[in-house]
């Protein structure tokens, strides 16, 4: 991998970290052509003597970015998490075109963090299982019934708990974490005054029994009456477009928790213990970049297929959610990984050429196998492989998303752990 420039103030392009002997000769033979292109760009007023981000944007706008830059070239940008500043290598992973929110087709150059963020982030925090209505929920004993069987969850069994502090209107009950993977005697219920409460009013135990008022019956993967689905209470939601990590990556707030928005009444702010990678006290991801860099990053179209158990669509006809973010996570297909279902093929983007080269495969790698070359490392631990979230939900359930783990295994994980991410962005070719 190319060396980073320790003195970089804005950015620097470094040599292709993917270059091999076989590609080296081709690159050398193309130097004269590239120099001629650069000279023409200068004559056309696209380039000037000072290479800044606006110049890079103009190169993209000219339609010649793929002739000036190469897949695997890197830009170095400064980014701060609010306490520590990092010099971040951004790989050029793809060229091409995308639509903006107005429907215009624009040239773009896609960049992705070479390393992961220096901390774990939740994809989505665990959700509440019950939200109090206008009248609140008074002190007392309540119970819920299991409506299906899985692991330690047994269909028909009822469990009770007692709250000693009344829930105000909009107050939430969270709990049953890791439900089917944990013995019921370890289940807890957490009483919170609101969706944005970062402190717990009280924590109470759960026991088998049917005393008190029944709040409803849990289903596995979809809400039922006043109760949320158990999967999202136990492990968080895999809905991508308004996920906690999506909101964080596109926030410039001084404190992300102050601008976080719930996507439904069951959502809870991503704080501990509901998110294993809490984000509420962090500054927004965009806050860490310079304005000149952010000015060339556009919000271009990103499509993702939701799960079909509670977010729409079917296994054969996916529901596609569209957003226009500045930063986003790559999908399975963009990572050169086989989609879990044929119906998703071509719907979450195209393979990024960088990942085809990095994976060492001209065909997409199969899921549920291990490929060490797919491992990612942290910006603050460059020899330590990380578990990394992808954008794509695992569509047969409500709480799982695909990932590449620290061994290089291509699989899935639940939404609430504090895994790392390698965000991507698009430089948009609009010449000024």
Q: How far is CA 85 from CA 52, 81, 372, in A?
A: 20, 7, 29
Confidence of residue 9 (pLDDT cuts 50, 70, 90): very low
Q: What is the pLDDT of residues 26-73, one digit of tens each?
A: 444 444 455 555 555 554 554 444 568 999 999 999 999 999 999 999
Confidence of residue 3 (pLDDT cuts 50, 70, 90): very low
- Per DSSP, what are the bridge partners of residue 145? 158, 217
Residue given tokens 């086989």 in the structure block: 338
Determine contact, residues 280/198, Cβ cutoff 8 Å: yes
Separation of alpha carbons 366 and 369, rounded Å: 6
Packing angle, helices 21-29 and 31-43, rounded to 10: 50
Looking at residue 303, what DSSP letter applies?
A: E
Q: What is the pLDDT of residues 296-333, one digit of tens each?
A: 999 999 999 999 999 999 999 999 999 999 999 999 99
Separation of alpha carbons 336 and 305, rounded Å: 17
- Per DSSP, what are the bridge partners of residue 142? 161, 213
Domain assignments of the chain as residue spans, ordered by start: 13-94, 130-235, 244-428
Q: What is the pLDDT of residues 256-266, one digit of tens each?
A: 999 999 999 99
Determine contact, residues 119/388, Cβ cutoff 8 Å: no
The contacts of residue 310 (CB under 8 Å, 6+ apart) are 221, 222, 223, 229, 398
Q: What is the pLDDT of residues 160-184, one digit of tens each?
A: 999 999 999 999 999 999 999 999 9
Q: Which DSSP helix (H) or strand (E) runs through 197?
A: none
pLDDT at 77: 97
Separation of alpha carbons 57 and 65, rounded Å: 9
Closest among 320, 297, 279 to 424, alpha carbons compared = 297
Is cis: bond before 273, omega within 30 of 0? yes
pLDDT at 429: 86
The contacts of residue 144 (CB under 8 Å, 6+ apart) are 129, 158, 159, 214, 215, 216, 217, 218, 227
Looking at residue 340, what DSSP letter applies?
A: S
Q: Is 57 left (phi over 0), alpha (psi -120 to 50) or beta?
A: alpha
Q: What is the pLDDT of residues 341-384, one digit of tens each?
A: 999 999 999 999 999 999 999 999 999 999 999 999 999 999 99
Strands 140-146 and 213-218: parallel
Separation of alpha carbons 135 and 132, rounded Å: 7
């Amino acid at each position: 991998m190319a060396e980073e420039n320790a003195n970089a103030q804005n950015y620097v392009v470094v040599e292709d970290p993917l270059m091999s002997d076989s590609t080296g000769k081709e690159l050398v033979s193309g130097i004269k052509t590239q120099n001629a292109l650069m000279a023409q760009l200068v004559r056309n007023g696209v380039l000037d003597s000072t290479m800044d981000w606006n110049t890079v944007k103009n190169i993209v706008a000219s339609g010649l970015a793929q002739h000036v830059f190469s897949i695997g070239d890197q830009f170095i940008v400064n980014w701060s998490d609010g306490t520590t500043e990092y010099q971040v290598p951004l790989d050029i992973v793809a060229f091409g075109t995308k639509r903006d929110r107005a429907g215009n087709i624009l040239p773009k150059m896609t960049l992705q963090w070479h390393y992961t963020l220096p901390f774990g982030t939740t994809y989505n925090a665990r959700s509440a299982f019950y939200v109090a209505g206008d009248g609140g929920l008074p002190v007392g004993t309540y119970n819920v019934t299991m409506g299906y069987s899985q692991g330690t969850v047994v269909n028909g069994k009822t469990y009770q708990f007692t709250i000693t502090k009344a829930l105000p209107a909009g107050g939430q009950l969270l709990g049953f974490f890791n439900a089917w993977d944990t013995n019921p005697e370890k289940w807890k219920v957490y009483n919170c005054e609101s969706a944005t409460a970062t402190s717990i009013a009280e924590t109470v135990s759960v026991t088998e029994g049917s005393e008190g008022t029944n709040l409803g019956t849990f289903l596995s993967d979809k809400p039922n009456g006043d109760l949320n689905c158990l999967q999202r209470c136990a492990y968080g939601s895999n809905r991508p477009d308004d996920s906690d990590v999506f909101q964080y990556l596109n926030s410039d707030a001084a404190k992300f928790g102050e601008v976080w928005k719930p996507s439904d009444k069951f959502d809870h702010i991503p704080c501990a213990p509901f998110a294993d990678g809490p984000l509420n006290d962090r500054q927004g991801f965009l806050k860490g970049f310079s304005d000149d860099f952010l000015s060339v990053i556009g919000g271009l179209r990103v499509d993702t297929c939701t799960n079909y158990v509670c977010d729409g669509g079917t296994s054969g006809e996916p529901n596609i959610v569209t957003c226009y973010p500045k930063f986003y996570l790559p999908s399975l297909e963009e990572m050169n990984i086989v989609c879990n279902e044929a119906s998703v093929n071509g719907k979450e983007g195209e393979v990024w050429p960088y990942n085809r080269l990095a994976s060492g495969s001209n065909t997409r790698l199969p899921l549920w196998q291990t490929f060490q070359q797919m491992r990612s490392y942290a910006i603050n631990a460059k020899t330590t492989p990380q578990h990394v979230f992808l954008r794509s939900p695992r569509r047969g359930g409500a709480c799982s998303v695909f990932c590449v783990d620290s061994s290089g295994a291509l699989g899935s994980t639940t939404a609430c752990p504090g895994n790392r991410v390698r965000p991507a962005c698009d430089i948009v070719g609009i010449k000024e």
